[in-house]
Amino acid sequence: MSPSGAGISASLKRKLAEAFRPQALEIVNESHLHAGHQEQFDGRGETHLRIRITSDAFRGMGRLERHRAINSLAREEFAAGLHALAIEARTPEELQ
């Protein structure tokens, strides 16, 4: 659980929605794909997430800047057990 008491995905989704006001936002739990990568990890929980987000807020930002902005919002979630984020951050124009 995240510090706010919600699941990691739910907490992160709320923060991303507030910060970027996205036109589209999807968070996919890919933890099960990483089962066995470490002896004691069985793929359960919310440790590996993929974020797909489309927002006007990313205009003028490079890929690295977008990733840094998203990762900075996820500090509490990383402290609560999140291990990795795969980030697909685009503007609406970049989807076309």
Whole-prediction pTM: 0.81
- Determine the pLDDT at residue 3: 45
Q: What tens digit of pLDDT does each residue of 83-94 get?
A: 889 999 999 999
Q: Which domains, and CATH codes, for the chain?
A: 8-95 (3.30.300.90)
CB-CB contact of 31 with 9 (8 Å)? no
pLDDT in the model for residue 76: 93
Average pLDDT for runs of 10 along the chain of length 96: 64 97 94 54 67 98 97 94 92 90
**Dist. CA 16–CA 38, nearest whole Å:** 29
Chain position carrying tokens 């890919």:
30
